[in-house]
Structure 1
Amino acid sequence: MLYSMFELSRLAMAPWRAAANATRKSLRSPWNPMGDTLAGRTMAASADLFESMTRNYGKPGWDLPTTEIGGKEVAVTPETIWSSPFCDLVHFKRAGAPDGQPKVLFVAPMSGHYATLLRGTVKTFLPDCEVYITDWTDASMVPISEGRFDLNDYVDHVAEMIRAAGEGVHVVAVCQPGPPTLAAIALMAEDGDPLRPASMTFMGSPIDARLSPTVPNKLAEEKPFDWFEQNAIHTVPAPYPGAMRRVYPGFLQLSGFMQMNWERHVDAHWQFFNHLVEEDGDSADKHRQFYDEYLSVMDLTEEFYLQTIKDVFQDHKLPRGEFEHRGRLVDPSKITDIALMTVEGENDDISGIGQTQAAHDLCSNIPESIRIDWVQPKVGHYGVFNGSRFEKEIAPRMKAFMKEKGRKA
Structure 2
Amino acid sequence: MLYKAYEIQRSLMNASSAWASMMADMLNDPRLPFSAYGPNQTMASALDVFAHATAPRGKPAFGIRTIQVDGQVHAVHETTVVHRPFGDLKRFTHDGLGADAPRLLLVAPMSGHYATLLRGTVERLLERAEVYITDWADAKYVPLAEGHFNLDDYIDYLIGFLEHIGPGTHMMAVCQPSVPAFAATAVLAAQKHPCRPLTLTMMGGPIDTRESPTAVNDHAVTKPYVWFKHNVITTVPENYPGAGRQVYPGFVQLTSFMSMNLGSHMMSHYKLFQHMVQGAEESAEATKTFYDEYRSVCDLPAEFYLQTVDVVFQRHALPQGEFIHRGQPVDLGAITDTAILCIEGERDDISGIGQTRAALKVTPNLPADMKQYLLAPEVGHYGIFNGSRWRKTIAPVIEAWMARYATRDNAADGKPRRGNKLAAVS
| TM band (smaller chain) | over 0.9
Letter in 2 for 1:207: I
Contact 1:337-1:407 within 8 A present in 2 as well: no
**Cα distance in 1 between the residues matched to 2:223 and 2:33:** 57
Kindly indicate whether residue 40 of structure 2 is the aligned counterpart of residue 40 of structure 1: yes
Letter in 2 for 1:112: G
Query: SS of the residue aligned with 2:35?
Result: helix
Match of 1:366 in 2: 366
In the alignment of these two chains, the number of paired residues is 409
Match of 1:224 in 2: 224
Deviation string, structure 1 residues 55-89 (Cα, Å, up to 9, x no partner): 12111110100112343211112101112100010
Letter in 2 for 1:296: S
Deviation string, structure 1 residues 363-386 (Cα, Å, up to 9, x no partner): 111111221100000011111111
Query: SS of the residue aligned with 1:13?
Result: helix
Match of 2:234 in 1: 234
Contact 1:333-1:365 within 8 A present in 2 as well: yes
Alpha-carbon offset, residue 13 of structure 1 = 2.7
Contact 1:149-1:303 within 8 A present in 2 as well: yes
Letter in 1 for 2:296: S
Write out aligned runs for 1:181-196 (5 A): 181-196=181-196
Scaled by the length of structure 2, the TM-score of the pair is 0.94
Contact 1:20-1:50 within 8 A present in 2 as well: yes
**Cα distance in 2 between the residues matched to 1:75 and 1:3:** 42
Deviation string, structure 1 residues 208-230 (Cα, Å, up to 9, x no partner): 01110000101100001110001
**Cα distance in 2 between the residues matched to 1:12 and 1:353:** 42
Kindly indicate whether residue 412 of structure 2 is the aligned counterpart of residue 397 of structure 1: no
**Cα distance in 1 between the residues matched to 2:88 and 2:390:** 26
Alpha-carbon offset, residue 284 of structure 1 = 0.3
Deviation string, structure 1 residues 243-272 (Cα, Å, up to 9, x no partner): 111100000000000011010000000000
**Cα distance in 2 between the residues matched to 1:399 and 1:13:** 44
Contact 1:338-1:406 within 8 A present in 2 as well: no
Contact 2:93-2:126 within 8 A present in 1 as well: no
Write out aligned runs for 1:68-79 (5 A): 68-79=68-79
Tell me how large the CA RMSD over aligned residues is. 1.1
Match of 2:351 in 1: 351
Alpha-carbon offset, residue 28 of structure 1 = 2.0
Letter in 2 for 1:124: R
Match of 1:275 in 2: 275
Match of 2:58 in 1: 58
Alpha-carbon offset, residue 25 of structure 1 = 1.3
Unaligned runs of 5+ in 2: 410-426
Alpha-carbon offset, residue 128 of structure 1 = 0.8
**Cα distance in 1 between the residues matched to 2:252 and 2:193:** 39
Deviates more, 1:280-289 or 1:397-406: 397-406
**Cα distance in 2 between the residues matched to 1:112 and 1:55:** 18
Alpha-carbon offset, residue 407 of structure 1 = 4.1
Alpha-carbon offset, residue 408 of structure 1 = 3.0
Contact 1:204-1:381 within 8 A present in 2 as well: yes
Kindly indicate whether residue 134 of structure 2 is the aligned counterpart of residue 143 of structure 1: no
Alpha-carbon offset, residue 30 of structure 1 = 2.8
Query: SS of the residue aligned with 2:360?
Result: helix
Query: SS of the residue aligned with 2:89?
Result: strand
**Cα distance in 2 between the residues matched to 1:126 and 1:86:** 25
Alpha-carbon offset, residue 96 of structure 1 = 4.9
Query: SS of the residue aligned with 2:361?
Result: helix
Alpha-carbon offset, residue 355 of structure 1 = 0.4
Letter in 2 for 1:398: I
**Cα distance in 2 between the residues matched to 1:16 and 1:213:** 40
Write out aligned runs for 1:62-101 (5 A): 62-101=62-101
Kindly indicate whether residue 185 of structure 2 is the aligned counterpart of residue 203 of structure 1: no
**Cα distance in 2 between the residues matched to 1:280 and 1:309:** 43
Unaligned runs of 5+ in 1: none
Match of 1:2 in 2: 2
**Cα distance in 2 between the residues matched to 1:276 and 1:310:** 45
Write out aligned runs for 1:155-194 (5 A): 155-194=155-194
Deviation string, structure 1 residues 89-144 (Cα, Å, up to 9, x no partner): 00013135321111111100000110000000111111111011000000011011
Deviation string, structure 1 residues 276-301 (Cα, Å, up to 9, x no partner): 11111001001011100000001000
**Cα distance in 1 between the residues matched to 2:217 and 2:231:** 17
Contact 1:246-1:301 within 8 A present in 2 as well: yes
Match of 2:420 in 1: none
Contact 2:150-2:304 within 8 A present in 1 as well: yes
Query: SS of the residue aligned with 1:340?
Result: strand
Scaled by the length of structure 1, the TM-score of the pair is 0.98
Contact 2:18-2:55 within 8 A present in 1 as well: no
Match of 1:214 in 2: 214
**Cα distance in 2 between the residues matched to 1:155 and 1:347:** 29
Alpha-carbon offset, residue 151 of structure 1 = 0.6
C-alpha spacing 1:33/1:101, structure 2 compared with 1 (3 Å): farther
**Cα distance in 2 between the residues matched to 1:337 and 1:14:** 53
Deviates more, 1:4-13 or 1:265-274: 4-13
Alpha-carbon offset, residue 184 of structure 1 = 0.6
Alpha-carbon offset, residue 46 of structure 1 = 1.3
Query: SS of the residue aligned with 1:84?
Result: coil
> What percent identity do the matched residue pairs reach?
47
**Cα distance in 1 between the residues matched to 2:238 and 2:46:** 33
Contact 2:97-2:129 within 8 A present in 1 as well: no
Deviation string, structure 1 residues 15-52 (Cα, Å, up to 9, x no partner): 32221111111122232343312111111111111111
**Cα distance in 2 between the residues matched to 1:260 and 1:292:** 19
Contact 1:186-1:330 within 8 A present in 2 as well: yes
Deviation string, structure 1 residues 181-218 (Cα, Å, up to 9, x no partner): 11111010110101111100000000001110000101
Match of 1:384 in 2: 384
Query: SS of the residue aligned with 1:255?
Result: helix
Match of 1:292 in 2: 292
Deviates more, 1:71-80 or 1:320-329: 71-80
**Cα distance in 2 between the residues matched to 1:34 and 1:73:** 45
**Cα distance in 2 between the residues matched to 1:160 and 1:255:** 33
Query: SS of the residue aligned with 1:185?
Result: helix
Kindly indicate whether residue 20 of structure 2 is the aligned counterpart of residue 20 of structure 1: yes
